[in-house]
Amino acid sequence: MADAQPSWNPLRLLQTLAYFQVVPFVGSLDWLFPPPPLLAPALAATPMPGAINAPMLIFDFSQANAQVQQIWGTVDDVVMGGVSESRIQWLQGRALFAGVVSTANSGGFASVRTRNLAPPLDLSAYQGLELQVRGDGQRYKFLLRSSSGWDSLAYAYGFDTIASDPMVSEGETWQTLRIPFQDLRPVFRAKTVADAPAFAADRVSSLQLMLSKFEYDGDLNPHFQPGPFRLEVRSIGVYGAPSL
């Protein structure tokens, strides 16, 4: 007998909508997911130890009080009937984005996203984002939004990871990735928006990490593998501040 196909779970959709307070009725269930404390306006004002020109940190997951699950929540393909399932948690000095991605039910993506940052971040003095990550050899996307809308225009950047052994805590598989704001691609549901305005770095409302079977405009992700995945993130910062 063939294995039973996983079925869509509407409860997970409800949990996602409640966490992000997407619609008024579901948002009234926010007692299930207490809102995070307001993020300071100068969230990116913590310098990374080291060189004088080191990036400023937005999220430092090396700290035990990173409040990952108060700020970051999952947005998987359950929102469109899929069965992929992911999680994000703080684990030994890093944020772990992991789970199982499935193409069943026309799905094929898993992601984690911040709640809307209050107030939005003003990163206009910087050239881009800098991430420290350790992955599994797959290609991921990083998305930013300058609108607080749930299903709104996003600005995306794809990056490849080096396959690593999760049993090894340190090593050469940690990568430092830079995402120039000028290279972000405006997208809506993985389709390029040709007439989109330039990315507004002065009002960043949310950040998102995603693993998807699609690149953009129907093209497939060449490094996508359905099944278990794992991406560790040590920090998210900005780089390229102007000299004083």
Q: Decide: residue 130, CB within 10 A, 0-12 exposed, 13-18 middle, 19+ buried.
A: buried
CA angle 67, 209, 5 (to 5 degrees): 105
Q: Note if the bond before 119 is cis, omega within 30 degrees.
A: yes
| All domains of the chain in start order, with CATH | 56-239 (2.60.120.430)
Q: What tokens does 123 get? A: 């990163």
> pLDDT tens across 201-218, in order?
999 999 999 999 999 999
pLDDT digits (tens, 9 = 90+) for 35-45: 554 444 344 44
Q: What is the pLDDT of residue 10?
A: 81
Residue numbers in the chain where pLDDT is lower than 50: 1, 26-28, 37-45, 47-52, 244
Which residues on adjacent β-strands are paired with residue 140?
A: 159
pTM as predicted:
0.85
Q: Give 163-178 pLDDT, tens digit per residue.
A: 987 766 666 689 999 9
